[in-house]
Amino acid sequence: MQQTEALITALKRQLKARGFHYSDVAQALDISEASVKRLFSEQSFSLKRLEAICQWLDISFFDLAKQTPMAESERSTQLTYEQEQALAENSLLLVYFYLLINDWPPKKIEKHYNIAPIENIKLLTTLDKLKLIELLPNNRVRRLTHRQIDWLPNGPIRKQHEVQVKEEFLKASFTTTEEHFQFHFGELSTASRNLLFRKLEKLTKEFNDLVEVDLHLPEEEKTSIGLLTASRPWVFSMVNQFKREK
């Protein structure tokens, strides 16, 4: 994917997530909707036009560039066993890494968490040695991994934290306006089950896209949200207890 195409793809993602249409862009730029459609189809944006749209969306050009598919696709979604082991053995290091890959700068982490400046440097250096980040001058950070990590099946992180995460997440009542819970079961063919899995993958991708879109927003405008998607062959034990033995 060329750089211009990648930028425009990221821009379209921003517009879609915010519910904007070409007509809204046309109004913001004071040009016709046909002109906007032509800009997108021909990918003929000038730098001035892109900057104007970014300003309208209240997002910096730099933040838009970081959200391009090209920027993320070059990063690995999986860590090595050794990298996971190092994170699993140090809870603070794992939390610090999680915040960094969600674009928290080191100074912000130091301010909001109980981390002294010298500990901040130590954590950054450790992650740099593990090749999870590249530590740049003035404690700036370049991510070397994808923002969404696919933890290794039966790997150190899942062994250490998966049970706790499941228990804590499902402990809620799911009755407030900020919570949502639905559970369904039924009998599906193999074809329908595969279709369901593809739809769940699409939902997960859309969730991650929204996370990317909202990265630049102020902290007070965001809430940490957990999304669990799961499906497996299953029958409630209460049903099975009345089943006739073969």
Two tokens at 120?
Answer: 């901040």
Residue 245 DSSP class: P
Per-position DSSP letters for 38-56, written without gaps between them: HHHHHT---HHHHHHHHHH
Task: Specify the DSSP class assigned to residue 95.
Answer: H
> Where is pLDDT greater, at 167 or 244?
167
* Cβ atoms 229, 204 nearer than 8 A: yes
Band the pLDDT of 1: cuts 50, 70, 90.
very low
**Runs of H (alpha helix) within the chain:** 3-17, 22-29, 33-42, 47-57, 61-66, 69-73, 81-88, 91-101, 106-112, 117-129, 156-170, 190-214, 237-240
CA 169 and chain centroid, separation: 18
Domain extents for the chain? 3-73, 81-143, 172-221
**Average pLDDT value over all residues in the chain:** 88
The answer to whether the CB of 152 falls within 8 A of the CB of 79 is yes
Least confident stretch, 59-68, 137-146, 170-179, 218-227: 59-68
DSSP state for residue 139 in the 8-state scheme: G
- Other Cβ atoms less than 10 A from the Cβ of 208: the count is 15
Whether residue 51 is predicted with pLDDT greater than 90 in this model: the reply is no
Neighbours of 151 (CB within 10 A): 19
Say which residue, 59 or 82, is predicted with more confidence: 82
* CA 37 to chain centroid: 29
Tokens of 108: 């912000």
Q: Report which DSSP code applies to 142.
A: E
Please, which pLDDT band fits residue 152 given cuts at 50, 70 and 90? very high
Check pLDDT > 80 for residue 62.
no
Kindly state the average pLDDT of the residues 97-120. Answer: 91
Q: Above pLDDT 70, what percent of the chain?
A: 94
pTM of the model: 0.68
Maximum mean pLDDT: which of 17-31, 38-52, 59-73, 165-179: 165-179
Is the pLDDT confidence value at 75 over 80? no
pLDDT at 216 exceeding the cut of 80 = no
Q: For residue 134, list its beta bridge partners.
A: 142
How far out from the chain centre does Cα 160 lie?
Answer: 22
CB 213 within 8 A of CB 19: no
- Per-residue model confidence (pLDDT) at position 69: 55
Evaluate if residue 139 carries a pLDDT over 90.
no
Residue 129 — very low, low, confident or very high, per pLDDT cuts 50/70/90? very high
Section 37-52 average pLDDT: 85
Give residues with Cβ within 8 angstroms of 24, minimum separation 6. 15
Whether the CB-CB separation of 94 and 79 falls below 8 Å is answered with: no
Q: Which residue has the higher pLDDT, 68 or 49?
A: 49
pLDDT at 209: 83
Secondary structure tally for the chain: helices H, strands E: 13, 2
What CATH class does 3-73 carry?
mainly alpha
Burial class from Cβ neighbours inside 10 Å (0-12, 13-18, 19+) for residue 175 reads: exposed
Q: In 58-206, which ranges are E strands?
A: 133-136, 140-143
